[in-house]
């Protein structure tokens, strides 16, 4: 069986500078004895690496080696190409190639800790010219660094995880002109090794006295952990977890004693052991997968460093990459936000649902309204500046209709209505021609736990409001105004099978779209007299069309309608996978695409996740929003951490990403 290029390179390194590291006869004798012991177990010592502290394989058989006070780039023959006078540890690396083959990579980025200054730094590696360039450090940390690892996200942006002695951890976005702190999180004390699987967005952390944990690497969301493998008596590890490496389709981790490498693969809800590689000495400290070694039929090769002898050894282990499961053929586009609002004034699950008010003569002077479930109603301009806070109580959903006429000859009104959880009522607000919002009354309901709501403006005039209860019950009211007082008349009641929230009415087509959180999206007649028959048009976990796969993941949250010149679209917040689905707003309700809202590096705006409510408009708001505006609630405000807010997205960016007309 031919050796893969990395191993061939290791054998040729003996004529290079690293041979000088074999500085004593005593070490040479130790290495020979170790090699003999390993040979009996199918493991080959690689004396060419000597006692280098770190060794990272690079494309084309090259290596990056940390040796004493030097960081060296070595060619495929083992000859030094570049050297930096630097004492460093905790090295991790990403090449410029993000997809399948790294052979085309011409550059790489290395993350490390400068041992002299205790600063976290990166080194740019130019593989074509053979240059190493030390980059400025990240901002100083307030803790002792115990581990570092890199992560490349779905946008191709690089992140650094900086783990402290007591588990204090920071996640930095290191692309762009300057590094930016994305979030802080807490990991177990004694976390002294980490690696990230970019393809599954999984952060692996070794807790020295217990085991290996898996976290979501994306900065959006709650950093919940899942145990991968634990020490005895809860698992097979001797004493806990040590060095680790991502392998194709899984992860490999050393036990704390360094006597074995355990290889595991993900299964539904957890992890499953697949292979155990016994090591000849109980003192391995570093573990590396050699890229490209999976090319051999049914095997990969791992590189380990022995902490006693300092020698490096390569071992082959039987391995098949697990099957990769996809949620369907429909790709996931990434669209960047163009703006964001100021954070709300309450931490936790506070911001919920936005609405848009269009200025009658100047689209750029329009307003975004947003609910704070712990405080009231917020009003923002299109630059995200908070203009008003109406402390009206625990408002959940809000919707806007403009130029509403309640009686012949009456002046048209612009109104915002919101579901109010304090007393299960509908709060009513007036909006004047400048966008100034004021409280104007309320309508009582018979609901026990009022939740979501939306407005419907019939062709015949007036205004109707639909509100729902957590038990699935809906009530539709006609809003009435007499002598400047508002009231409501119940028109109909109906029910879905489980908890709903989002709904949106297509006034022109007299259709009502309803989101049932665990089941999907329904359509029915908006006019009460036409009955309450419903049709499921997009089910959770169901196929959304030929070859589309299951693209909607519970919870189904906000719904909104974009009325274009040629076609209208329904937008759905698929909260379970932090995405947004776009489908035709007319039969047969074909799915047109899906997208996520990613990081806007240039503007310093974080991504959006766990979106509750959203709103979209096709009006001309000027500038980047000339073709329309989407506003979404963001469940996790990052860069830096702050209370929730709302993200603003240009419709033109969505249309371009999904090929919409």
- 604-618 pLDDT, tens digit per residue, is 999 999 999 999 999
Percent of the chain residues past pLDDT 70, beyond the cut: 88
The residue behind tokens 């990395």 is 6
Closest CA to 31 of 317, 303, 316, 305: 305
11 pLDDT band, cuts 50/70/90, is very low
Q: Are 186 and 169 in contact (CB under 8 A)?
A: yes
Closest CA to 127 of 150, 113, 152, 108: 108
Q: Is pLDDT at 36 greater than 80 in this prediction?
A: no
**Range of lowest pLDDT (96-105, 154-163, 455-464):** 96-105
What mean pLDDT comes out for the span 199-223?
93
For domain 332-658, the CATH class is: mainly beta
Closest CA to 250 of 302, 301, 321: 321
φ, ψ at 265 (rounded to 5°): -130, 150
Determine the pLDDT at residue 46. Answer: 55
Q: Is pLDDT at 209 greater than 70 in this prediction?
A: yes
Q: Where in the chain is the domain with CATH 2.120.10.30?
A: 5-318, 332-658
Q: Is pLDDT at 34 greater than 60 in this prediction?
A: no
The residue behind tokens 């612009």 is 414
For the chain, the C-alpha Rg in angstroms (whole number) is 29
Q: Are 244 and 204 in contact (CB under 8 A)?
A: yes
Q: Are 470 and 420 in contact (CB under 8 A)?
A: no
Q: What is the pLDDT of residues 422-454, one digit of tens each?
A: 999 999 999 999 999 999 999 999 999 999 999
Beta-sheet strands, E only, within 136-278: 145-152, 158-164, 168-173, 180-186, 191-197, 202-207, 211-216, 225-230, 241-247, 250-255, 260-267, 270-278
Cα of first residue to Cα of last residue in the chain, in angstroms, is: 55
What mean pLDDT comes out for the span 410-417?
96
More confident residue, 224 or 381: 381
φ, ψ at 8 (rounded to 5°): -60, -40
Q: Quick one: which H or E segment has residue 657?
A: helix 651-658
- The tokens describing 333, both together, are 């586009």
By three-state DSSP, how is residue 331 classified? coil
Residues facing residue 631 across a β-bridge: 615, 648
Q: What is the pLDDT of residues 347-367, one digit of tens each?
A: 989 999 999 999 999 999 999
Q: Is pLDDT at 63 greater than 50 in this prediction?
A: yes
Q: Is pLDDT at 294 greater than 70 in this prediction?
A: no
Q: How far apart are CA 526 and CA 457, in angstroms?
A: 10
**For the structural domain made of 5-318, what CATH number should be given?**
2.120.10.30
Determine the pLDDT at residue 403. Answer: 97
Q: What is the pLDDT of residues 124-172, one digit of tens each?
A: 999 989 999 999 998 888 899 999 999 999 999 999 999 998 899 999 9
121 pLDDT band, cuts 50/70/90, is very high
pTM, two decimal places: 0.86
**Range of lowest pLDDT (1-10, 45-54, 102-111, 120-129):** 1-10
What mean pLDDT comes out for the span 237-259?
94
Q: How far apart are CA 192 and CA 190, in angstroms?
A: 6
């Amino acid at each position: 069986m031919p050796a893969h290029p990395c191993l061939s390179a290791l054998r040729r390194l003996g004529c290079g500078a690293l041979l000088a590291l074999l500085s004593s006869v005593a070490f040479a004798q130790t290495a020979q004895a170790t090699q003999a012991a390993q040979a009996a177990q199918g493991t080959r010592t690689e004396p060419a690496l000597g006692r280098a502290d770190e060794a990272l394989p690079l494309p084309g058989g090259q290596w990056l080696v940390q040796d004493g006070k030097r960081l060296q780039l070595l060619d495929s023959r083992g000859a030094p190409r570049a050297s930096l006078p630097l004492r460093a540890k905790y090295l991790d690396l990403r090449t410029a190639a993000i997809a399948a083959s790294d052979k085309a990579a011409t550059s790489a980025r290395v993350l490390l800790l400068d041992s002299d200054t205790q600063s976290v730094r990166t080194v740019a590696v130019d593989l074509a010219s053979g240059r190493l360039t030390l980059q400025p450090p990240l901002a100083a940390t307030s803790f002792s660094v115990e581990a570092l690892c890199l992560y490349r996200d779905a946008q191709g942006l690089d992140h650094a995880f900086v783990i402290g002695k007591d588990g204090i951890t920071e996640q930095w976005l290191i692309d762009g002109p300057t590094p930016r702190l994305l979030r802080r999180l807490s990991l177990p004390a004694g976390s002294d090794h980490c690696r990230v699987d970019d393809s599954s967005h999984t952060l692996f952390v070794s807790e020295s006295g217990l085991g290996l944990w898996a976290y979501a690497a994306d900065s959006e969301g709650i950093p919940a952990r899942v145990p991968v493998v634990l020490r005895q008596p809860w698992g097979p590890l001797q004493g806990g977890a040590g060095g680790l490496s991502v392998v194709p389709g899984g992860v490999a981790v050393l036990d704390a004693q360094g006597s074995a490498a355990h290889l595991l693969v993900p299964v539904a809800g957890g992890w499953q052991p697949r292979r155990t590689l016994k090591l000849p000495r109980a003192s391995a400290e570093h573990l590396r997968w050699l890229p490209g070694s999976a090319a051999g039929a049914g095997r990969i090769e791992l590189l380990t460093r022995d902490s006693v002898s300092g020698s490096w050894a390569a071992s082959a282990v039987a391995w098949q990459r697990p099957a990769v499961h996809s949620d369907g053929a429909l790709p996931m586009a990434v669209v960047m936000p163009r703006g964001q609002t100021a954070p709300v004034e309450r931490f936790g699950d506070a911001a919920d649902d936005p609405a848009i008010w269009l200025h009658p003569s100047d689209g750029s002077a329009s307003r975004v309204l947003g609910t704070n479930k712990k405080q009231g109603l917020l009003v923002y301009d299109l630059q995200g500046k908070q203009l008003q806070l109406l402390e009206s109580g625990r408002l959940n959903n809000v919707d806007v209709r403009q130029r509403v006429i309640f009686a012949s000859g009456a002046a048209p009104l612009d109104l915002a209505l919101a579901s109010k959880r304090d007393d299960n009522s509908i709060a009513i607000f007036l909006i004047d021609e400048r966008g100034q919002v004021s409280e104007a009354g309320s309508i009582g309901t018979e609901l026990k736990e009022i939740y979501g709501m939306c407005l419907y403006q019939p062709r015949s005039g007036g205004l109707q409001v639909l509100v729902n209860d957590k038990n699935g019950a809906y009530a539709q009211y006609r809003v009435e105004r007499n002598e400047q007082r508002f009231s409501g008349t119940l028109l109909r009641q109906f029910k879905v099978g489980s908890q709903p929230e989002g709904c949106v009415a297509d006034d022109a087509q007299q259709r009502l779209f309803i989101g049932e959180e665990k089941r999907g999206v329904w359509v029915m007649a908006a006019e009460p007299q036409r009955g309450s028959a419903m049709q499921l048009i997009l089910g959770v976990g169901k196929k959304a069309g030929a070859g589309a796969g299951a693209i909607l993941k519970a919870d189904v949250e906000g719904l909104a309608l974009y009325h274009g010149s040629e076609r209208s679209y329904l937008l759905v917040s698929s909260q379970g996978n932090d995405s947004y689905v776009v489908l035709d707003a007319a039969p047969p309700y074909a799915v047109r695409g899906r997208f996520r809202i990613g990081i806007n590096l240039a503007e310093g705006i974080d991504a959006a996740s766990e979106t509750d409510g959203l709103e979209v408009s096709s009006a001309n708001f000027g500038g980047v929003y000339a073709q329309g505006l989407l506003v979404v609630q963001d469940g996790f405000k990052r860069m830096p951490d702050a209370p929730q807010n709302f993200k603003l997205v240009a419709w033109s960016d969505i249309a371009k990403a999904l090929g919409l007309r």
